[in-house]
Structures are given as structure tokens and as C-alpha cells.
Amino acid sequence: MTRNSRKAPRMNQSSPVFADAPKLRRRAEARLRDEPGDHQSRSGVPESPADTRRLLHELQVHQIELEVQNGELQQARDETEALLEKYTDLYNFAPVGCFSLDEQGRIMDANLTGAALLGIERSRLLNHRFPRFVGPAGQAAFLAFLERVFADNRNHVCETPLLRANAMAFWAALHGAAALAVSGRPKWCRLAVSDITPLKEAAAAQRRMEALTITNQELEREIVRRQAVEESLRKSEQHYGQLLEESRRMEGELRLLSRQFLSAQEEERKKISRELHDVIAQTLAGINVRLANLKKTAASDTRGQGRDIARAQRLVERSVKLVHQFARELRPTALDDLGLIPALHTLMKRFTGQTGIRVSLSASAVVERLDDERRVALYRVAQEALTNVARHSQASRADVKIQKFKGAISLEIKDNGKGFHQHRVFRAKESQRLGLIGMRERLEMVGGNLVVTSSPTNGTLVLAQVPLVRANSRKRAANRADRDPRQPSS
């Protein structure tokens, strides 16, 4: 027994629970010195020789070691239980679901959060395969993710739809890492599961918001474009309304001008008829009477016959002059035979003789290059302008100037009369400005235009312009040049 008692303390001293056995022995000996009586009484060993005392001392020291060791073990156990309780609380109530899976995906362990995510009790989750909770669309991705987790020691992430026990789906983020296998147990992995449905919904809402923003921007651009189109349409409608109003006004002016033309034509016919009846017919009747008298007195009075013949000749000459005057008023022969400049000279000479208003003419010979239609238009404008000077201006002088200006022929008639207020004249009734309308219509027929400028202090300026080469002539010349590049343009 003594031999066994001696071996026990040495075995305890080499016990693996406490690596620092010498320190533990020193603590026991110190405690024995502090409380020698108590341990002796508890040992129940009587006083004996030296070896008995030494053995007793060893037993007492060993007893104290056991007490100290038991106290430390109890403290370590309490701390371990506290830590285990704390770890269990942290594990069970973690904000994410925690699962332990083997290589086949069977659930070896799960916390309360994981069980709540899947909507099933934790005890019923064990030994179930985790893929049964993965949605059909995410099965392949999850199995590939699980294979990657067991392939290496790195962390892997996967997002997949999971199904709760009530078949409701939610989006989950899976974080997996392989764990080292414990001896005698299969390899397993840790899996953290978090519900990212709000994040997915927020991302989807953000995408919808971005799409809505893009759509709103496109709508704003479309609104701006449509507003621009509406503004353009409004301006076009206004413009075409003005054109329509202008066309109606011009149509009214043309109708009035046509009626005025018919009235003037009828008046001119009436005048010519009266002149023919009152002047030429009477002259011809006088010639007839003179010839009858000549016939009666031809045999008896030869002396008075010469006087009657002379009177008849004068009547014939007067009739011829009247006929020539009518012809000139209807259309001057000088315009056809000699050109525009001589016709204007004749017109101004007769105008000065009839009205007493002096007229000067300054003309360029290039005007004779115009065709007959444009020369007639310029002649009639000059004739009408001088008629207006005689009727309305109370002028003493008028200047007529014809010159070439930027590919056009310009005709100016300027007087020193009293002038007029343009806005009043142009707002007057059509019948009061038919002369201006007639001049403008004549010029527009040959591609020209008319500008009238007047003021009560500076007289009146009538400016008429016609193109030197008409548009259709320019087109024909361009076509000839296109057909034959060597042909020079006119």
C-alpha cells in the first residue's frame, strides 16, 4: 500500500490536466505550512518515524494539489458553461441563418434564425437536404456553389431563391466555407444564409425608378418636340392664314381691277365713239359737203373751186391727225418702231405740252435689250405715274431715270409735288388706289416689282424694277450650258 501510495502522487504530478506540476506542488506545500494542524487531523495518521512523516507530508501535499486542481477545474467548468451559453445565444439569435451541411447537402445543425428563415422547427430540419429548400430556378447554381465550397478552403458567395415551408419564396445570399473534418466524422461546411429580398426589391425598385426616369426624360423630350411642332404648326397656320387673307385681298383687288378695266374700256370706247362722231364724222361730212359744192360749181365757178379744194384738204389733214392721235393713245407706234426711249421722249413732250410740267429723261441704252412685254410694262408704268403727277401732285417738275441695277432694269419717276401720307393711301378704298394696283400688276406679270415712297414734304418717288433676263430665259440658258459645257452663258 505504501508503495502504491507513493506512486499515486508521482502520477498525479505528471497529469496532463495541469502542465505546470512543480508550481502546483509549491502552492500545496505553502498551503500546508500555513495550515499544518488541520491537514494532520484530517489525515488520521499517528506520529511515526521519519519515513512515516515524509509519506504523510506527501499525502498532505497531494491532497492539497487535488483540492486546488478541483477548484480550478470547477472554475474552468463554470467559465466554459458561461461561454457555451453565450455562444449558444449568439449562434441561435444571430442576425443570419447558420447551417452545417455535409457533402451531400444534408443539414447537420442549424440555429433558430435559420429555422425561422425556412419556416420550420429546428428539430425537423436536421438530416434534411438543404437543396429541397432551394427554388427550381436556383437548383443548378446552388449545387455548383456547394461543389466549389467543398473544393477549397476559400469563402464562396451565391444568391438564389429559397422556399419556406409554406412555399413562399424569398431571395437569400449564401456565404459558405469548408470546415476541417474531425477524426471519425465526415467533412462538413458552414453556411450563412441572409434574407436579401428587401435588397432585391430595392434594387428592382431602383431599376424601375431609373427606367421611369429615362422614360420621363424621353417624355419630356417628346413634350418639348411636340410643343416645338405645335408652335411650328401654329406659326404655319398663322402664316398660311396671312397668305390666305392676302390671296383673298388680291383676289378682291383683281376682281375690282377687272371691273374697273371693263369700265375704263367701256369709257374709252365711249370716248372714241364720241370723238369719231363729233370730230371725225363732222369733218368727213364737211369734206363731203365741200366735194358736193365742187361738183355743182365745177362748170360755172372755176375761181371758187380752188378755195373749196384747199378747205377740203385741210379737213382731210385734220382728220388724219385725229386718227393718228387716237392710235398713239391706244398704243404708240414709236414703241414698236423705234424703242422705249423714243416712245418715252414723245410721251413726255406731249405731257409737257398738255400740262406745262417739265419732265427730264435719263436713260441707259441697255433698256432696249428687254423684250416687247417688259418694255410695254415700263412704258405703261411711266404713263400712269405721269398721269398721277398731273392729277394729284401739283408739281412743277418730274425726273425720269432708267438704269441697270444688279441684273435688273430700274425705272424711277420722281416729282417735286406735295406728296401724300402713304399709310392713308394704302389703307384707303381700292377704288382710290387702282392706279398703283394696275402698275404693280403689270410689273408682277413680267417678274418685276413696284415700290412707292412719298411724304408731304419730299414729293413722290415711283420705283419699278424688271429683270434684265427673265427666269425662264435663265433656265433655258442653264439647260443649254448643261447640255454643252463649251457654250458660253448669256
- What is residue 446's predicted lDDT score, i.e. its pLDDT? 87
Residues 175, 192: contact at Cβ < 8 Å?
Answer: yes
* Judgement on whether residues 132 and 74 belong to the same structural domain of the protein: no
Grid cell at residue 258: 377687272
Average pLDDT along the chain: 78
**Residue 31 belongs to a domain:** yes
pLDDT at 141 over 90: yes
**Residue 125 belongs to a domain:** yes
Please tell me the distance from the alpha carbon of residue 481 to that of residue 487, in angstroms, as a whole number. Answer: 6
* Judgement on whether residues 117 and 81 belong to the same structural domain of the protein: no
Higher-confidence residue of 391 and 32: namely: 391
Segment 404-424, tens digit of pLDDT:
888 899 999 999 988 877 666
Segment 61-95, tens digit of pLDDT:
888 888 888 888 888 888 888 887 887 777 788 88
Q: Is 468 helix (H, G, I), strand (E, B) or coil?
A: coil
Q: How confident is the model at residue 41 (pLDDT cuts 50, 70, 90)?
A: very low
> To 10 degrees, what angle do helices 302-330 and 197-275 make?
180
Among residues 91, 108, 134, the one where a domain terminates is 91
- What is residue 331's predicted lDDT score, i.e. its pLDDT? 66
The helix (run of H) or strand (run of E) holding residue 84 is helix 50-92
* Judgement on whether residues 278 and 173 belong to the same structural domain of the protein: no
Q: How confident is the model at residue 157 (pLDDT cuts 50, 70, 90)?
A: very high
Q: How confident is the model at residue 206 (pLDDT cuts 50, 70, 90)?
A: very high
Segment 100-132, tens digit of pLDDT:
999 889 999 999 999 999 999 988 888 999 999
pLDDT at 145 over 90: yes
- What is residue 306's predicted lDDT score, i.e. its pLDDT? 65
* Judgement on whether residues 362 and 267 belong to the same structural domain of the protein: no
Please tell me the distance from the alpha carbon of residue 344 to that of residue 350, in angstroms, as a whole number. Answer: 10
- What is residue 418's predicted lDDT score, i.e. its pLDDT? 86
Q: What is the pTM of this model?
A: 0.42
Looking up cell 441684273 gives: 407
Question: Could you give the number of structural domains in the chain?
Answer: 4
Amino acid type, 316: V
Average of pLDDT values for 1-28? 48
Average of pLDDT values for 25-35? 68
Residues 442, 254: contact at Cβ < 8 Å?
Answer: no
**Residue 317 belongs to a domain:** no
Please tell me the distance from the alpha carbon of residue 9 to that of residue 245, in angstroms, as a whole number. Answer: 131
Please tell me the distance from the alpha carbon of residue 13 to that of residue 9, in angstroms, as a whole number. Answer: 6
Q: Which residues contact 131 (CB under 8 A, 6 or more apart)?
A: 105, 139, 142, 143
Compute how many other C-beta atoms are within 10 angstroms of the C-beta atom of residue 418: 15
Give 127's DSSP letter.
T
Among residues 195, 213, 239, the one where a domain terminates is 195
Q: Which residues contact 103 (CB under 8 A, 6 or more apart)?
A: 150, 186, 187, 188
- What is residue 34's predicted lDDT score, i.e. its pLDDT? 66
Q: In what order do the strands lie in the sheet with 459-467?
A: 358-363, 397-405, 408-415, 459-467, 449-455
* Judgement on whether residues 53 and 136 belong to the same structural domain of the protein: no
Q: Which residues contact 189 (CB under 8 A, 6 or more apart)?
A: 100, 101, 102, 146, 149, 150, 176, 177, 178, 179
**Residue 419 belongs to a domain:** yes
pLDDT at 353 over 70: yes
pLDDT at 345 over 80: yes
* Judgement on whether residues 68 and 108 belong to the same structural domain of the protein: no
- What is residue 4's predicted lDDT score, i.e. its pLDDT? 37
Buried (b) or exposed (e) across 232-264, using 16+ Cβ within 10 A? eeeeeeeeeeeeeeeeeeeeebeeebeebeeee
Average of pLDDT values for 21-47? 60
* Judgement on whether residues 453 and 412 belong to the same structural domain of the protein: yes
* Judgement on whether residues 355 and 434 belong to the same structural domain of the protein: yes
Residues 200, 171: contact at Cβ < 8 Å?
Answer: yes
**Residue 213 belongs to a domain:** yes
Q: Which residues contact 156 (CB under 8 A, 6 or more apart)?
A: 145, 148, 149, 175, 176, 177
Amino acid type, 446: V
pLDDT at 49 over 60: yes
The helix (run of H) or strand (run of E) holding residue 59 is helix 50-92
Average of pLDDT values for 151-163? 90
Grid cell at residue 54: 515524509
Give percent of the chain with pLDDT exceeding 70: 74
Buried (b) or exposed (e) across 148-186, using 16+ Cβ within 10 A? ebbeeeeebebebbbbeeeeeebbbbbebebeeeeeeee
Segment 214-267, tens digit of pLDDT:
999 999 999 999 999 999 999 999 999 999 998 888 888 777 777 777 567 667
Among residues 91, 112, 131, the one where a domain terminates is 91
Compute how many other C-beta atoms are within 10 angstroms of the C-beta atom of residue 61: 21
* Judgement on whether residues 351 and 479 belong to the same structural domain of the protein: yes
Higher-confidence residue of 468 and 47: namely: 468
Amino acid type, 381: V
Q: How confident is the model at residue 183 (pLDDT cuts 50, 70, 90)?
A: low
**Residue 470 belongs to a domain:** yes
Q: How confident is the model at residue 10 (pLDDT cuts 50, 70, 90)?
A: very low
Segment 272-323, tens digit of pLDDT:
767 766 666 677 777 777 777 776 666 566 666 667 677 777 777 777 777 7
Q: Is 390 helix (H, G, I), strand (E, B) or coil?
A: helix
- What is residue 89's predicted lDDT score, i.e. its pLDDT? 75
* Judgement on whether residues 350 and 459 belong to the same structural domain of the protein: yes
Find the farthest-apart pair of alpha carbons in the chain and give their distance in angstroms, rounded: 227
- What is residue 1's predicted lDDT score, i.e. its pLDDT? 35
* Judgement on whether residues 297 and 369 belong to the same structural domain of the protein: no
The helix (run of H) or strand (run of E) holding residue 397 is strand 397-405
**Residue 227 belongs to a domain:** yes
**Residue 11 belongs to a domain:** yes
Which range marks the domain in which residue 413 is found?
Answer: 338-483
Amino acid type, 137: A
- How far CA 249 is from CA of 263, 274, 375, 444, in Å, comes to 21, 36, 28, 16
- What is residue 198's predicted lDDT score, i.e. its pLDDT? 92
pLDDT at 487 over 50: no
